[in-house]
A and B are shown apart, each in its own frame.
Chain A
Amino acid sequence: MSLVQLSHPARARQFLGDAERARFHDAALWQIRGRRDQRVAELPEWEQLRELAAQIKAHTLAELPDYLERFEQNARRHGAQVHFARDAAEHNRIVYELLQQRGVTRVVKSKSMLTEECGLNPFLEQRGLEVVDTDLGELIVQLRAEPPSHIVMPAIHLRTADVAQTFASTLGAPPLADPESLAEFARGHLRAKFLAAQAGITGVNFAIAETGGIVVCTNEGNADLGMALPPLHIACMGLEKLIPRAADLGVFLRLLARSATGQAITAYSAHVHGPRPGGELHIVIVDNGRSALRAEAQHRSALRCIRCGACMNTCPVFRRSGGHSYGTTVPGPIGSILAPLREAGAHDSLPHACTLCGSCTAVCPVKINLHDQLLELRHRQLELAVRPAAQDPRRQAARALERTGAALLGWVLRSPARLARAGALLRWLGRRLPGLARRGPLARWTATRELPPLPEQSFHRAYAERRARDSGRRSA
């Protein structure tokens, strides 16, 4: 999906233009991070769970082709049909053909970041199908023709009044002022869509190789309605969703909701083996760059991600810049790794949307070393951008400047008198430079940084004066 290629700082500036909204966004996500911490503190075995989850995912990735085949075989045993798609276009074509062959025109969809990644909604809508996103947050952003701004809370960037205005202008809702009546209105609107739907599309949280089942987690119950009512269920999953054993869910379901929203478990964790009676189940397994990521030794652990969003909720940059500032399907720390690796050169500003504080790495339930990987991506950019010095006149000039500077510094430091004069000069300059630097070519670095106020006098002078004062006091 191509989004307007503005840099992260440019889009973040747009978000920060509304200071009140930005403050709310920051506080809301920090509150969720706090709830996560409460749930985590209740489990003394939290670190053991993280370690197990990381090991299970690392093992599954190492033997991924075998597990894919086992899953496929077992899913077929239950009567599911399994399809493979190399990329987004193939995925969309498979889904469309399944719908078209059965004369489906009305589809209900529950949250699936994969179908967002593939641009499934516009693809189906252009072909005349009605596709209704049924997660409340997804419905809101769909009605506004916006992408989700967060993978767990798609409408976290909006306020109640925005939602009321959206429902009024797109669905003809009466004026509604609070989240309860807005959610009630959406319940009525969507219930009619569920009952009339001819097909349900869902994502997949986990695919169990040993049983051939899929697990779908929601709080609203929208995926369960979409799977239970229409005769056709299409489940779309990236090939990294596999886990070996059903019992592994004991680890992952204990981690997932605690990390995502600070709940012990989501309201619904549906385990689906085969179609509902009289229905059809199709599972579409998508690569779309995942196998290439698996080849990257330093980055393949990003494929462990279970899409809980904890790295976003804790990230000081995400909280203060909003999900849309990333311009990717998956934003935040994990998205800043996935997007540049999938589309080299297209998301160069994202690895820099990071303070390297490491909070994401500390909360990640599957122990992805997110901030290390972001730093590595910066190194990679530099290696690609910088030519060897011998071929690059700018680097040669920089070297010459560096040598001159070092020589000058050496000359100053050799004489106490010169050092004192240079210090005075710097203190004088320091009071005038920040204003100058904000306008010049250095502004990219200095625009958002404050220089601390410089002292009026040197340490030498201050120390000498103090000693003089003290000895004066003693002699008095």
Chain B
Amino acid sequence: MSARAEILAALRAQSLAPAPLPALSGDWIAYPDLPEQFERALGRAAGSLVRATRAGLSAALAALPAVQQGQRRCSLVPELRGNQDPPGEPQAFRDLDVLIVPAEFGVAESGAVWLGERVAAVRAGLFLTQHLVLVLARENLVAHLHQAYERLGASAGRTGYGCFMCGPSKTADIEQALVVGAHGPRSLAVVLWE
């Protein structure tokens, strides 16, 4: 008998009392000011928030320290062009200084943003770039993860790769001292426009 058949048979031979699957409802927290909560949570995760208007988005992106200092820039947003095209091989993102990508929506509770289908072409770059910039529309902020998954709906299973990303890469594995920039980006800025 195959391992699969044997394991399933062993599990089916056990009789467990039925336990209902609960509906996902609760008295979830509500935030009076979503951008403010988002900024607070993102700051706690060592990320930074820059607010911009629709018209001022290009200028706000150009003024970011990571963009100003970064030699090799790759961008998926029309408001600020990069000077590198997304490479074909994932390893080729190794020399990238800044990557600028659109975020689909943000979660105020935790400061996380969802990166989905739109970043598929630069997936490895999200982690190999030295600095990461995420562009997010104010209207795409949700309060908490329950709303986030409601919004993702069936697309949660359609995207090959999707990620809730919250601040830059970090570690506290040595004496619990927080070090930002473990393997991935050393900084993460969210530009929130409305």
Q: Across the two chains, which residue of chain A brings its CB closest to B148?
A: A250
Kindly specify which of B67-75, B97-105, B122-130 makes contact with the partner chain: B122-130
Q: Across the two chains, which residue of chain B brings its CB closest to A141?
A: B173
Q: For B14, list chain A residues within 8 Å (CB).
A: 291, 294-295
Give Cα A159 to B182, complex, Å: 18
> Which residues in window 141-194 of B have CB below 8 A to A?
144-146, 148-150, 152, 156-177, 179, 181-185
On whether A56 and B29 interact (CB within 8 A), knowing A222-B183, A267-B167, the answer reads no
Contact of A224 among B109, B145, B184 (CB under 8 A): B184
Contact of A250 among B24, B161, B167 (CB under 8 A): B24
Q: Across the two chains, which residue of chain B brings its CB closest to A69?
A: B8
Count of B interface residues, CB-CB < 8 Å: 74
Q: Is the CB of A294 within 8 A of B4?
A: no
Q: Across the two chains, which residue of chain B brings its CB closest to A159?
A: B175
Contact of A269 among B27, B41, B163 (CB under 8 A): B163
Q: For B22, list chain A residues within 8 Å (CB).
A: 52, 55-56, 59
Q: Is the CB of B160 within 8 A of A274?
A: yes
Contact of B110 among A69, A264, A285 (CB under 8 A): A264
State whether the Cβ of B65 lies closer than 8 Å to any Cβ in chain A: no
Q: Is the CB of B11 within 8 A of A86?
A: no
Q: Is the CB of A45 within 8 A of B26?
A: yes
Q: Is the CB of A183 within 8 A of B161?
A: no
State whether the Cβ of A180 lies closer than 8 Å to any Cβ in chain B: yes
Q: Is the CB of A264 within 8 A of B41?
A: yes
Among B18, B22, B158, find the residue whose CB has the most chain A CB atoms closer than 10 A. B22
Q: Is the CB of A264 within 8 A of B146?
A: no
State whether the Cβ of B7 lies closer than 8 Å to any Cβ in chain A: yes
Among A84, A182, A183, A244, find the residue whose CB has the most chain B CB atoms closer than 10 A. A183
Q: For A83, list chain B residues within 8 Å (CB).
A: 3
State whether the Cβ of B83 lies closer than 8 Å to any Cβ in chain A: no
Give Cα A45 to B30, complex, Å: 11
Q: Is the CB of A86 within 8 A of B28?
A: no
State whether the Cβ of B33 lies closer than 8 Å to any Cβ in chain A: no
Give Cα A156 to B145, complex, Å: 30
Q: Is the CB of B24 within 8 A of A247?
A: yes
Q: Is the CB of A222 within 8 A of B20?
A: no
State whether the Cβ of A58 lies closer than 8 Å to any Cβ in chain B: yes
Q: Map CB proximity to B onto A138-172 as digits: 1 under 8 Å, 0 otherwise.
A: 00100000000000011110111001000000000
Known contacts A153-B176, A268-B169; can you find 15 more A-B pairs with CB under 8 A?
A24-B175, A44-B27, A62-B16, A68-B7, A136-B174, A158-B174, A160-B175, A212-B157, A220-B183, A228-B124, A228-B126, A229-B124, A247-B24, A251-B24, A277-B160
A-B contact list, 26 entries, CB within 8 Å: A44-B29, A45-B29, A58-B19, A59-B22, A86-B6, A137-B171, A159-B175, A160-B174, A179-B175, A179-B179, A187-B181, A212-B157, A219-B182, A225-B124, A228-B126, A246-B156, A251-B24, A263-B45, A263-B166, A264-B45, A271-B156, A271-B162, A271-B164, A277-B160, A285-B7, A291-B14
